[in-house]
């Protein structure tokens, strides 16, 4: 049995370890620069939306598989890891309402239940998040859900550990180790650069994966982008229940919102895309929130959502995530570098499916979730870096139009 090292213990790396051990492979070591109790990476900042309906079949398949994985692991966790509370896509114009009826048929073809509800039904399903004066109706997808990303990641960690995986915390990975034939044979860790040998190395390091890959001459075709998410202050009358109402999207406005216990949260894509070059050494995926970058977009988003018009803002964060030119994660082997695998550019929405996709490809066990060519990390190898960047950033604002 081969020794497999996974770099990164966020939701994606934890999912990879979970699925490898589900397939009976227990010689898995997961390394992370953080402490077990701390998730300041992208996972710790994620809003936790899990929507399955997408115009891209591969994204829908990965999201459906993720929901199945999250429901399964929820049964072994005392924390509210994931709940299928549903999703509402609010129509504020006739064209969107027409699109909602088409999406019901599209969902049926994908095996995803959806139906159109009127404005009063939408308000009743998500009070405080839907404006009865602006909503014409909504697409309702009842089995979509919301996750607590930190609890989810730790539940996946616990499940993998129970089947023999080992997690080494406070262990930064400094570099990949190769032999003379460009085969990756391990990683250099810690301040002293100690070598940890492995037969296979999986990078699930999020926005820092590109820097590690570049050290061995591999270009990871993804772009790190900044994204605002804001919370209200605590709202009187709300309890601590973290996941109890549908997630709400406003596709025509590139806005999404949900309840987080005593607060509401909201994100917006309605601003100029802001790419970011991160240092090679991992730092927090949270960057300073700049009013000049996000202020107007947040103000316009607040005007859509009743709860945000009535409550003062609380925490405002700027999180960084990776985006590919086609929005599909990078999952599979590195071309020209045997022993190196990637599970990169994935969100919580798809992390469960990405973990299974990678585990099945690496072990050659069973069928992958989607066609491996569609997730192949090298599928943009013929593209220039400029084309990769422009295409990825071009998808940023359209994310909620495509999903």
The strand order across the sheet containing 286-287 reads: 115-117, 137-141, 87-91, 247-250, 255-260, 263-268, 223-232, 313-323, 286-287
pLDDT above 90 (res 399): no
The answer on pLDDT for 37 being more than 90 is no
Above 70 in pLDDT, residue 50? yes
Q: Distance between terminal CA atoms of the chain?
A: 40
- Cβ-contact 60, 159 below 8 angstroms: no
pLDDT reported for residue 368: 95
Across residues 330-349, what is the average pLDDT?
Answer: 96
Residue in the structure block whose two tokens are 């949260």: 265
Report the alpha-carbon distance of residue 73 to residue 15 in Å, rounded.
10
Q: What is the mean pLDDT of residues 75-90?
A: 89
**40 or 140, greater pLDDT:** 140
Determine the pLDDT at residue 403.
46
Where would I find the H helices in 75-224? 94-110, 119-125, 149-162, 209-214
pTM across the whole model: 0.95
Torsions phi, psi for 199 (to 5 deg): -80, -35
Query: Does the pLDDT of residue 97 top 80, yes or no?
Result: yes
Q: Mean pLDDT across the stretch 37-63?
A: 88
Could you read off the pLDDT of 108-165 as tens digits, one per residue? 999 999 999 999 999 999 999 999 999 999 999 999 999 999 999 999 999 999 999 9
- Does the pLDDT at position 107 exceed 50? yes
Q: What is the chain's mean pLDDT, rounded?
A: 93
Pairing mode, strands 330-333 and 340-344: antiparallel
CATH 3.30.9.10 fits 84-144+223-323, yes or no: yes
Beta-strand runs (E) in 204-355? 223-232, 247-250, 255-260, 263-268, 286-287, 313-323, 330-333, 340-344
Output the CATH code of domain 4-50+150-219+326-383.
3.50.50.60
Percent of the chain residues topping a pLDDT of 70 = 96
Please report which confidence band the pLDDT of residue 402 belongs to, taking 50, 70 and 90 as the band edges: very low
Q: Tell me how long the chain is.
A: 403
Pairing of strands 49-50, 28-31: unpaired
What is the phi/psi pair of residue 30, to 5°? -110, 130
Check if the beta carbon of residue 61 is closer than 8 Å to that of residue 54: no
The rounded distance, in Å, linking the Cα atoms of 268 and 295 is 11
Query: What's residue 76's pLDDT?
Result: 84
Q: How confident is the model at residue 239 (pLDDT cuts 50, 70, 90)?
A: confident
Contacts of 229 (CB under 8 A, 6+ apart): 45, 47, 265, 266, 267, 316, 317, 319
Please state, in angstroms and as integers, the Cα–Cα distance from residue 60 to each residue in 50, 67, 396, 397, following that order: 11, 11, 18, 19
Given its phi and psi angles, is residue 84 left (phi above 0), alpha (psi -120 to 50 degrees) or beta?
beta
The encoded tokens of residue 74 equal 């929820």
According to DSSP, residue 234 is labeled: P
User: How many Cα atoms within 13 Å fall on the side-chain side of residue 86?
Assistant: 19
Cβ neighbours of 194 (radius 10 Å) = 12
Backbone angles phi, psi at 25, to 5 degrees: -95, 105
**Would you list the domain boundaries of the chain?**
4-50+150-219+326-383, 84-144+223-323
- For residues 175 and 40, the model is more confident at 175
pLDDT (mean) for 347-369: 96
Strands 330-333 and 194-197, sheet pairing: unpaired
The least confident of 19-28, 68-77, 276-285, 367-376 is 276-285
- Per-residue pLDDT for 35 more than 70? yes
pLDDT level of residue 280 (50, 70, 90 thresholds):
low
Question: DSSP states of 354-375 as a string?
Answer: HHHHHHHHHHT-S--SS-HHHH
Q: Is the pLDDT of residue 59 over 80?
A: yes
DSSP string, 277-312: PPPSS---SEE---HHHHHHHHHHHHHH-HHHHHS-
């Amino acid at each position: 049995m081969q020794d497999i090292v996974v770099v990164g213990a966020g939701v994606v790396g934890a999912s990879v370890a979970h699925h490898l051990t589900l397939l009976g492979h227990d010689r898995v070591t997961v390394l992370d620069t953080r402490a077990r109790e701390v998730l300041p990476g992208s996972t710790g900042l994620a809003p936790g939306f899990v929507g399955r309906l997408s115009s891209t079949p591969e994204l829908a398949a990965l999201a459906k598989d993720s929901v199945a994985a999250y429901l399964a692991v929820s049964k072994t966790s005392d924390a509210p890891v994931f709940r299928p509370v549903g999703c509402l896509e609010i129509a504020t114009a006739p064209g969107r309402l027409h699109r909602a009826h088409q999406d019901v048929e599209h969902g049926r073809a994908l095996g995803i239940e959806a139906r159109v509800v009127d404005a009063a039904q939408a308000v009743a399903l998500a009070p405080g998040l839907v404006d009865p004066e602006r909503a014409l109706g909504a697409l309702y997808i009842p089995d979509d859900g919301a996750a607590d990303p930190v609890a989810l990641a730790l539940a996946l960690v616990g499940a993998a550990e129970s089947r023999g995986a080992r997690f080494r915390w406070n262990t930064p990975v400094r570099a990949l180790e190769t032999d003379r034939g460009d085969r990756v044979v391990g990683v250099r860790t810690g301040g002293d650069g100690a070598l940890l040998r492995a037969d296979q190395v999986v990078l699930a390091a999020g926005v820092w994966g590109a820097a590690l890959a570049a050290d061995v001459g591999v270009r990871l075709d993804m772009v790190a982008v900044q994204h605002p998410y804001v919370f209200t202050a605590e709202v009187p009358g709300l309890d601590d229940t973290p996941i109890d109402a549908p997630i709400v999207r406003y596709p025509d406005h590139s806005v999404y919102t949900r309840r987080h216990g005593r607060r509401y949260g909201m994100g917006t894509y309605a601003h100029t895309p802001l790419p970011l070059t991160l240092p090679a050494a991992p730092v927090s995926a949270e960057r300073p929130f700049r009013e000049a970058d996000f202020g107007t977009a947040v103000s316009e988003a607040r005007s859509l959502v009743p709860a945000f018009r009535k409550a003062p803002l609380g925490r405002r964060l700027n999180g960084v995530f990776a985006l590919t030119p086609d929005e599909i994660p990078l999952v599979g082997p590195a071309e020209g570098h045997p022993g190196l695998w990637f599970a990169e550019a994935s969100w919580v929405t798809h992390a469960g499916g990405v973990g299974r996709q990678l585990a099945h490809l690496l072990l050659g066990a069973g069928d992958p979730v989607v066609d491996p060519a569609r997730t192949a990390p090298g599928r943009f190898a013929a593209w220039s870096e400029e084309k990769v960047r422009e295409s990825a950033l071009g998808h940023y604002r359209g994310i909620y139009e495509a999903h």
